[in-house]
Amino acid sequence: EECLQRLQNRIDIAYDSSIPEHQEALRALWNAAFPEEELRGLISEQWKEMGWQGKDPSTDFRGGGFISLENLLFFATNFPKSFKDLLWKLEGDRSVWEYPFAVAGVNITFMLIQMLDLEAVFNPTLPFISKLAVKIENHDSAFLPLIENESAFDLLYCITFKLMDHQWLAMRASYMDFNTVMKATRRQLERELLLEDITRLEDLPSYSLLTR
């Protein structure tokens, strides 16, 4: 219950460029992505190299909030190889028009929040409060006890990002297909969450796509 409450509290935090902690997280993300290139400023044309829409990443966080930055930083820190593979599009036969890495990351955060219905009002009287609700179209809601620790959502994010890229390559997608790929990713993730004997995120088939 406490983990779910803290996760929902995280979701409520908007990115604020005036907060030192948020500034430091953004710098840490840059250093993880480009350790050999000095960042000239939190507003810089350099950010486009990571796949932000403009020179100020804060404008892209509106859809995902501060947690979307935390998700990216968790990915870079805990699965650096997969993070770099996706950032630099190192795997597979790629389209000429690729998806922008950072913006895709914010979209994944937003998609997971919606899929897991995490913006629902917290109600400690509900019997399933210690579980994540997976809303699946045309199916009854399924519930999984996935909140084992503070980083469960962040880990699910990493799995989903890698799964999205896997779907992208399988569908031979280009930039205009991004929304279609995201929908396919969500459907596949929902199917995996419904599999029997899934008691932790590491049991999901797509977890095997991640490399450290």
How does pLDDT run across 126-161, given as a tens digit for each residue? 443 334 544 444 444 443 456 667 788 999 999 999
Paired with 144 in beta bridges are 132
Long-range contacts, stretch 128-132, CB < 8 angstroms, 24+ apart: 129/1, 129/4, 130/1, 130/3, 130/4, 132/4
Determine contact, residues 145/197, Cβ cutoff 8 Å: no
Into how many domains does the chain fold?
A: 1
In a domain, 48, yes or no: no
Residue 145 has a pLDDT of 56
What is the C-alpha to C-alpha distance for residues 29 and 177, in angstroms, rounded to an integer? 27
Low-confidence ranges of the chain (pLDDT < 70): 1, 120-148
In a domain, 148, yes or no: yes
Tokens encoding 118: 């995490």
Range of the domain at 105: 1-16+59-211
Determine contact, residues 159/206, Cβ cutoff 8 Å: yes
Residue 56 has a pLDDT of 95
What is the C-alpha to C-alpha distance for residues 26 and 19, in angstroms, rounded to an integer? 11
In a domain, 120, yes or no: yes
Residue 143 has a pLDDT of 38
In a domain, 101, yes or no: yes
Determine contact, residues 162/209, Cβ cutoff 8 Å: yes
Residue 2 has a pLDDT of 77
In a domain, 25, yes or no: no
What is the C-alpha to C-alpha distance for residues 161 and 82, in angstroms, rounded to an integer? 9
In a domain, 143, yes or no: yes
Residue 10 has a pLDDT of 92
What is the C-alpha to C-alpha distance for residues 18 and 42, in angstroms, rounded to an integer? 11
CA distances from 170 to 6, 41, 95, 117, 181 (A): 36, 37, 12, 28, 10
Contacts of 93 (CB under 8 A, 6+ apart): 169, 172
In a domain, 42, yes or no: no
In a domain, 41, yes or no: no
What angle is formed at CA 197 by the lines to CA 170 and CA 152, rounded to 5 degrees? 70
What is the C-alpha to C-alpha distance for residues 7 and 150, in angstroms, rounded to an integer? 8
